[in-house]
Amino acid sequence: MASEKKATAPPVDAPFANLLASRPPSSAGGTVAATFVSLVVHTAVLGALIWATQAIAEEITDADEEVTVIELPPELELPPPPPPPDQPQPQVTQDIPRGFQTLAVPDIVPTDIPPPNPTQVFREQDFLGVGVRGGVGDGEVSETGDAVVPLSEAPRFVPMTVRPTILNEDEVVRALERTYPPLLRDAGIGGEATVWFFIDVDGKILKTQIDSPSGYDALDQAALKVAEIIRFSPAQNRDKTVQVWVSLPIKFSTR
């Protein structure tokens, strides 16, 4: 006779004595309540989002609709400029040339030209250019009675038909080499000085002076020394020898 085994209950402290079911039984009432609570919560959240979105849109719309109005001041009308002052009309006077004169075309040509004066006498010597500006033909006394400055005092133009020419060119070339300042020549520095010559009716030099300097005082002084030895032929105005001022360049070069 088989022995029957009697089932015994597991001890209370044994592990995994109480096991949970993988899917606990649910009641119908709990499921409905949970669904309702979830629906209410989702509805509240969705409503809050919609309300917040509308509030932001209203703020943006209000911000866009705000317009600031600036009132501009009325335009100021500037007063018209004052009229220009009346310019005095230049007075045209008739100037009778005498002696050495520089004639120029007048700026304003008069519309009413007076008829020629038959009593006015013109002399040829008044237009020879001898003397100074405003003087009479012989160059001795001006119209006001003042003494005329001699021609030898300052260079000025004297009319001539034949210019003076240099008669001793070879001697002038040797004088250029002899008077060239050694310091400037050895340094390779050259220059050109223009010299005024006052020449008498015999071609003799009466006076010299620098017209345009070379930029070096030593070269200017050497040019004046060379000018002293130059001999000229006399100048002529038509068939008469005259005293004249002529300007000639004197150049120093190392070649």
Q: What is the pLDDT of residues 41-64, one digit of tens each?
A: 778 777 777 777 776 666 655 555
What is the topology classification, in CATH, of domain 169-252? Answer: TolA/TonB C-terminal domain (3.30.2420)
Residue at 234: amino acid letter: P
Q: How far is CA 99 from CA 55, 106, 118, 152, 229, in A?
A: 107, 19, 21, 17, 33
By the 8 A CB rule, do 254 and 188 touch? yes
By the 8 A CB rule, do 163 and 235 touch? yes
Band (93; pLDDT cuts 50, 70, 90): low
Share the mean pLDDT of the chain.
Answer: 74
Residue 130 CB-density burial (10 A; 0-12 exposed, 13-18 middle, 19+ buried): buried
Determine the pLDDT at residue 139. Answer: 46
Band (102; pLDDT cuts 50, 70, 90): low
- 161-173 in b/e form (b: 16+ CB < 10 A) is eeebeeeeeeebe
* Euclidean distance between CA atoms 124 and 43, whole angstroms: 129
Secondary structure class of 60 (helix, strand, coil) = helix
218: tokens are: 């030593």
* Euclidean distance between CA atoms 225 and 254, whole angstroms: 18
Q: What is the pLDDT of residues 182-221, one digit of tens each?
A: 999 999 999 999 999 999 999 999 999 999 999 999 999 9
By the 8 A CB rule, do 187 and 244 touch? no
Determine the pLDDT at residue 128. Answer: 54
Q: What is the pLDDT of residues 137-147, one digit of tens each?
A: 444 444 554 44
* Mean pLDDT, range 111-137, rounded to an integer: 62
Every domain of the chain and the residues it spans: 124-150, 169-252
Q: Tell me the whole-structure pTM to 2 decimals.
A: 0.44
Half-sphere exposure (Cβ direction) of 79: Cα atoms closer than 13 Å? 3
Q: What is the pLDDT of residues 16-31, one digit of tens each?
A: 455 544 555 555 556 6
